[in-house]
Amino acid sequence: MNIHEYQAKELLAKYGAPIAAGYAAFSVEEAVEAAKKLPGPLYVVKSQIHAGGRGKGKFKELGPDAKGGVRLAFNLDEVKAHAADMLGNTLVTIQTGEAGKQVNRLYVTDGADIAKEFYLALLVDRATGRVAFVVSTEGGMDIEEVAHSTPEKIHTFAVDPATGFMPHHGRAVAAALELTGDQAKQAAKVASSLYEAFLATDASQIEINPLAVTQQGNLLVLDAKVGFDGNALFRHKDIVELRDLTEEDAAEVEASEYDLAYIKLDGNIGCMVNGAGLAMATMDIIKLNGEFPANFLDVGGGASKEKVTAAFKIILKDPAVKGILVNIFGGIMKCDIIADGIVAAAKDVNLSVPLVVRLEGTNVQQGKDILAASGLAIVPADDLGDAARKIVAEVRKAA
């Protein structure tokens, strides 16, 4: 789960990270009111969407010459004009894809006098299984280019969970940023506060870009992107409240309400599978047979009739779906119960695309009999390879 920049900054400030003053705004009036509370004379009006690259982004409605999604304002009239430009319009950045994202929230913050922009991130390094710092002196809006053409300028080191964050980690961050004296101390403090925030919130990513040094010599978090481990959200009610559902795929949100693990993909074969491993294998074998899965969907071990029906409906909402492959192993759940669920769901949603079902496990024969007796045009399959070949053939026949 991701949150907005202003939410991330409020959160990180609690752990002692240096954040400039700023306020969220949902309307032009609120943006002006927010600016009035700031010292000025420089304000920054920032589009709040769950995607980076806003500074260099373009608004669809405003044409190529208009300014991007992060703008400086030198007085309240400019704050007002920028807010009016941004709110309700669609910002396209390198991270949003062509469709872009509608800006419904702004963050109005104190303008900083920037001397230098650094990059500082924390993430889980899967290779070492540790929380790692990623640090570079070359922060700012071109970090992707730095990673691509001068990767040696990006330093990475992991923290041993047995010791936690130690003073030498702070010194390593400062050294990687080529800071000395008081600024080195500030860098170590920022690193330590981010590490504490990372662990305490079960974050999966904290990215500060830029971490700025101001002309006055202070380190300041100017942009913050924070993501959380979805599996740990149950113990962070306060963080779940920050969720902005308008930023998420509608089908994925609906799926999460039914406790279904659903991720939309680009292909045309809808998949309904129980167990993440089986789901991955099913997607692989569809690809092997020359088509692409429209989604990843794990209905879980205890797939009830309600869940199966909800899953069908979610899959069918995707207009790209030209056929569905159900691949269920009846272990905890018995095949006859699943078959009942499939038949009821298929009738309920008025299924109009080909459906191939492969069942295996407990009571498999009863399950197959139920499908055969249903009167529905369900194509039964015997094993995974057979199922994939059949759904690919059906989809191609229909095309």
- Output the smallest distance, CB 338 to ligand ADP, in A: 46
Q: Does 19 bind ligand ADP (CB under 6 A)?
A: no
Indicate which single residue of 18, 53, 275, 367 sits in contact with ligand ADP (rule: CB under 6 A). 53
Q: Which DSSP symbol is given to 69?
A: S
From Mg ion, ligand ADP, none, which one binds at residue 54 (CB under 5 to 8 Å depending on kind)?
Answer: ligand ADP
Asked if 112 interacts with ligand ADP (CB under 6 A), we say yes
Q: Which parts of 58-97 interact with ligand ADP (CB under 6 A)?
A: 70
Catalytic annotation, residues: 119, 207
Q: CA 105 to CA 381: how far, in whole Å?
A: 50
Interaction of residue 223 with ligand ADP, rule CB under 6 A: yes
53 labeled binding residue: yes
Q: How far apart are CA 55 and CA 140, in angstroms?
A: 10
140 binds ligand ADP (CB under 6 A): yes
Q: How far apart are CA 59 and CA 92, in angstroms?
A: 6
> Could you give the 3-state DSSP secondary structure of residue 34?
helix
- The answer to whether the CB of 367 falls within 8 A of the CB of 338 is yes
Nearer to ligand ADP, 53 or 170 (CB): 53
Decide: is 117 part of the binding site for ligand ADP (CB under 6 A): yes
- Whether residue 100 is annotated as binding a ligand: the answer is no
Q: How far is the CB of 5 from ligand ADP (least distance, A)?
A: 7
109 binds, among ligand ADP, Mg ion, none (CB under 5 to 8 A by kind): ligand ADP
Is residue 143 at the binding interface for ligand ADP, with CB under 6 A as the rule? no
Please report, as residue ranges, which positions from 192 to 221 form the binding site for ligand ADP (by CB under 6 A): 209-210
In the bound state with ligand ADP, the residue whose beta carbon lies nearer, of 108 and 333, is 108
> For ligand ADP, which is the closer residue by CB, 48 or 204?
48
Instruction: Please name the helix (run of DSSP H) or strand (run of DSSP E) that holds residue 133, with its range, or none.
Output: strand 130-136
* Secondary structure (3-state) at 223: coil
Residue 117 β-bridge partners: 212
Residues 6+ apart with CB under 8 A from 35: 43, 73, 76, 79, 108
d(CA 169, CA 198) in angstroms, rounded, equals 15
Asked if 165 and 189 touch (Cβ cutoff 8 Å), the reply is no
Read off the tokens for 41: 């004379």
18 binds ligand ADP, rule: CB under 6 A: no
Shortest reach from residue 72's CB to Mg ion, in Å: 15
CB of 62 to ligand ADP, least distance (A): 17
The sign one gets for the Cα dihedral 304, 306, 312, 314 is: negative
Phi, psi of 12 (to 5 degrees): -65, -30
CB of 157 to ligand ADP, least distance (A): 24
The C-alpha angle with vertex 150 and arms to 149 and 152, in degrees rounded to 5, equals 145
Binding site for Mg ion (CB under 5 A): 209, 223
Tell me the CA end-to-end span of the chain in Å, nearest whole number. Answer: 37
| List 2, 3, 11, 52, residue binding ligand ADP (CB under 6 A) | 52
Residues facing 121 on adjacent strands: 134, 207
* Residues at the contact surface with ligand ADP, assessed by CB under 6 A: 20, 44, 46, 52-55, 70, 109, 111-112, 114, 117, 140-141, 209-210, 222-223
Q: Which residues are annotated as a binding site for ATP?
A: 46, 53-55, 112, 117
Q: Which residues are annotated as a binding site for substrate?
A: 274, 331-333
